């Protein structure tokens, strides 16, 4: 569910994409500093959630921008369930909502990226996230050329079967380039940063509250309410203890106080337990998605086999 809130000075952006496409490089470009570990290799450097908040001055107004870099979808060093788990933990960094999801891609749009796209909206965030998703084509050398940018999008839609499936659902399509600073990439990154920041501040004022975030907040709120109820009970029992002179009644009240105090003990693993229950549900949803995909492929195979049999006869 989204709430068309009045534009504020806060922005939260989550970077999503397959392993090795340059999410961390894009995060550093957006931050204007080396806050995220990058890699020039195809292997992902981001194994855990990395969240950084920066302050940006735009036309005399200060904005607080929270950048959340996530583990790569399709990371070959992690099990699919582990990837989903870490994506959910990334969601917990955005409990106040998300202004935009930057879906990062580069070069040719592959089946792996199309699968990562499906996981993002079908499994993790829900269909409404498409309204808040910005498709970022990185490593695009001619990102300053508006004609080249338009031609690239048109070419992808015409020639790439996976892009054809995804791009019709894309509201924003941006291009940038994030070369390593040691290769004289400073000016390029500064220009790319200007494009990304302008888009984030001008076009991404509304806040998206994904169902997965609502579930996390609701479950934690339930525990917080139980915690507060226990504290209220302690105050009531303490008041009764001061009022009574009966030793028997005092023993009974003290036993109740011990139990109530036990219920208010800080559970340091509470958030993790809540997040893991959400992960279990998402893992099941991802398995169901994969089973549907497999069934569709099997159906197409059987259809083709039937057509071949008919032509032979």
Q: From first to last of the 313 residues of the chain, give the pLDDT tens digit.
A: 555 554 588 999 999 888 788 888 999 999 999 898 886 544 444 445 688 999 999 888 999 999 998 877 765 565 555 666 677 667 767 778 899 999 999 877 888 788 778 877 777 777 888 899 999 999 999 999 999 999 998 888 888 888 888 888 888 999 999 888 666 667 899 999 999 999 999 999 999 887 776 766 666 666 667 767 777 888 888 888 888 888 888 888 888 888 777 765 545 455 555 555 666 666 666 667 667 777 877 776 666 666 565 555 5
pLDDT tens digits for 90-107? 776 777 889 999 999 987
For the entire predicted model, the pTM comes to: 0.69
Whether 65 and 30 have beta carbons less than 8 Å apart is answered as yes
Q: Is the dihedral of CA 163, 191, 56, 58 positive or negative?
A: negative
DSSP one-letter code for 135: E
The answer regarding whether domain 2-209 maps to CATH 3.40.50.300 reads: yes
Q: Give per-residue pLDDT as tens, 22-32.
A: 888 999 999 99
Domain ranges across the chain: 2-209, 213-263
């Amino acid at each position: 569910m989204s709430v068309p809130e009045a534009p504020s000075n806060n922005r939260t952006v989550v970077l999503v994409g397959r392993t090795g496409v340059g999410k961390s490089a894009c995060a550093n470009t957006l931050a204007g500093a080396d806050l995220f570990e990058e890699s020039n290799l195809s292997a992902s450097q981001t194994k855990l959630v990395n969240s950084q908040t920066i302050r940006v001055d735009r036309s005399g107004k200060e904005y607080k921008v929270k950048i959340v870099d996530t583990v790569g979808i399709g990371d070959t060093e992690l099990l699919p369930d582990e990837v989903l788990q870490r994506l959910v933990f990334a969601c917990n960094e955005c409990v106040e909502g998300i202004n935009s999801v930057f879906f990062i891609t580069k070069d040719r749009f592959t089946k792996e990226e199309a699968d990562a796209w499906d996981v993002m909206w079908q499994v993790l965030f829900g269909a409404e996230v498409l309204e808040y998703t910005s498709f970022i084509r990185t490593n695009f050398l001619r990102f300053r050329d508006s004609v080249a940018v338009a031609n690239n999008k048109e070419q992808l839609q015409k020639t790439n079967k996976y892009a054809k499936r995804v791009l019709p659902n894309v509201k924003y399509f941006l291009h940038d380039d994030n070369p390593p600073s040691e290769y004289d990439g400073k000016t390029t990154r500064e220009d790319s940063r200007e494009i990304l920041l302008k888009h984030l501040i001008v076009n991404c004022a509304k806040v998206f509250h994904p169902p997965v975030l609502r579930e996390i907040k609701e479950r934690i709120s339930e525990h917080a309410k139980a915690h507060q109820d226990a504290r209220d009970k302690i105050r009531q029992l303490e008041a009764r203890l001061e009022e009574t002179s009966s030793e028997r009644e005092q023993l009974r009240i003290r036993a109740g106080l011990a139990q109530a105090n036990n219920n208010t003990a800080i559970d340091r693993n509470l958030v993790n337990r809540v997040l893991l229950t959400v992960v279990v549900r998402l893992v099941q949803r991802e398995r169901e998605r994969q089973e549907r995909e497999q069934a569709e492929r099997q159906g197409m195979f059987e259809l083709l086999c039937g057509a071949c049999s008919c032509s032979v006869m």
